[in-house]
Amino acid sequence: MSDEQSHLFYQSRQPRPFLDHGEGVYLYDEQGKRYIDGSSGAMVSNIGHSNPRVLAKMKAQMDRATFGYRLHFRTRPSEDLAAKVASLMPEGLDRVFFVSGGSEAVETAMKLARQYAVTQGQGSRWKVISRLPSYHGATMGSLGVTGSPLFTGPFAPMFEEMPKIAAPTAYLDRDSLSDEERGLKYAEMLREKIEAEGPDTVLAFLMEPVGGASTGALVAPDSYYTRVAEICAEYGILLIYDEVMTGAGRTGKFLAAEHWGITPDIVAMSKGFGAGYAPLGAVVARGDMVEALLDAGGFLHGFTYAGNPLACAAGLAVLEEMEAHDIIGNAARMGDVLKSRLTGLMDRYPFIGDVRGKGLLLAFELVSDRDTMKVLPKEWNANVELVELAYERGLIIYSRRTRGGYEGDHFLVCPPLIITEPQIGEIMEILTDALDAFAANHDLPVIE
Ligand code: PMP
């Protein structure tokens, strides 16, 4: 088959070179061109590519068994990984259910919440309030909570659209509130929504603690996190953190929830948890919730590949690697370095409106006017153009246009958590070159 033909189909027709191999923070195509992976793929490759110690542990498991169905056998890798995950979680979150990806994790979290409510005699509760914009997955159930018209649009009649509140896009606000007041203002929207929907019908509130692809590393004011948790507790509503992107160290702590001392009732993880070595995700829940389900006959849910020993061996090896090399500590340290370097770009490019994020989940946003945060003309397709300019130059970054309430061009710069300072220098050099080219294409000012 020629390289031009393909029987695969994905989102776009955009041709991409064939990947040859990866090493650390770099990827190489078949022509030998090197790319620095400035987005860890889709915020996945947290410990970098082709880690020999992880591969050796996977190989050892492959030589024993690559599959054992969970109704027929327990497996050491899944037990050991569950114990390791529980040890890394906030107190009380100690029961783990494995899945193969982020959408499955979100589906599982919602079904667990619902079945638990039913066992508690609270069958009237079924609505999962989420936020706009947000991204929670591509399956029908997760589309119902995803606040992104781009992804939900054509499928709208086929799933249950869940109630949404505005994501705390506080960086766009031009009011005189303090940060704390602004956080409380957004949290109050949750209370209003619960009241409007009827508290007895609301099952859970689902949020990305730091936004991902939909909002570009959106961080709320600190007061938001605490007040949201208080409101959920007050109304007996389960708090679900979607840590599919933020979990497993991406923000400089194992869970982003730790930054605010929050213990959600349920956490969904994937992406950096398998770190690209295996399709893997996990849902972690409060022990008493799981016990209630088991007492009532068990969780009516499961996927064939869930908890398979090869994926779990990979996940365990990834977590061991993180611990052995203080990779999460590195994410926190290098996150500070990268964030200040990105913030520094604002002096050179007046069209960078905002730099935000936590740890190595960082983003910048391009605008026509920094003071008003007026977006760039839509027809420029800046989110595509800048990514291509960087790609040509050997840097991979990730972008989507924010949709749902606000349409801005944000760019995620989220390298593997093993990144070093000189490698951050490489990212910045290529990014500056790409931004210069972008400015030249559109006659935008550059301050030398
Ligand atoms: N939740 C969040 C926060 C995500 O970022 C993603 C993926 N971008 C998902 C869920 C869905 O994960 P997956 O693509 O692995 O199904």
Q: Which domains does the chain have, with CATH numbers?
A: 19-50+326-442 (3.90.1150.10), 53-324 (3.40.640.10)
pTM: 0.97
Residue 351 near residue 382, CB atoms below 8 Å: no
Ligand 1 atom closest to the Cα of residue 243 is: 3
Residues 6+ apart with CB under 8 A from 232: 190, 205, 238, 239
Residue 82 near residue 269, CB atoms below 8 Å: no
Residues 6+ apart with CB under 8 A from 118: none
Ligand 1 atom closest to the Cα of residue 101 is: 15
Residue 412 near residue 36, CB atoms below 8 Å: no
Q: What separation in Å is there between the alpha carbon of 280 and the centre of ligand 1?
A: 12
Choose the residue to mutate in 143, 243, 270 for probing ligand 1, maximizing ligand atoms within 8 Å of C-beta.
270
Choose the residue to mutate in 103, 150, 251 for probing ligand 1, maximizing ligand atoms within 8 Å of C-beta.
103
Helix extents (H) in 255-381: 287-295, 309-324, 327-348
Does any ligand 1 atom lie closer than 6 A to the CB of residue 353? no
d(CA 84, CA 89): 9
The residue among 1, 112, 72, 44 whose CA lies nearest residue 318 is: 44
Place of tokens 């508690």: 120
**What DSSP designation does 377 have?**
P
Residues 6+ apart with CB under 8 A from 371: none
Residue 1 pLDDT: 45
Does any ligand 1 atom lie closer than 6 A to the CB of residue 208? yes
Does any ligand 1 atom lie closer than 6 A to the CB of residue 240? no
| Three-state secondary structure call for residue 110 | helix
d(CA 272, CA 105): 13
Report the chain (448 residues): mean pLDDT per 10 consecutive residues: 68 82 98 98 98 98 95 95 97 96 98 98 98 96 93 91 95 91 97 98 98 93 98 98 98 98 98 98 97 95 94 98 98 98 98 97 96 93 96 96 83 98 98 98 96
**Amino acid (1-letter code) at residue 415:** P
d(CA 300, CA 288): 17
> Which residue owns the Cα nearest ligand 1 atom 5?
245
Does any ligand 1 atom lie closer than 6 A to the CB of residue 252? no
Q: What separation in Å is there between the alpha carbon of 103 and the centre of ligand 1?
A: 6
| β pairing state of 395-396 and 352-358 | unpaired
Residue 393 near residue 430, CB atoms below 8 Å: yes
Residue 89 pLDDT: 96
Residue 386 near residue 434, CB atoms below 8 Å: yes
Residue 209 near residue 225, CB atoms below 8 Å: yes
Q: What separation in Å is there between the alpha carbon of 135 and the centre of ligand 1?
A: 7
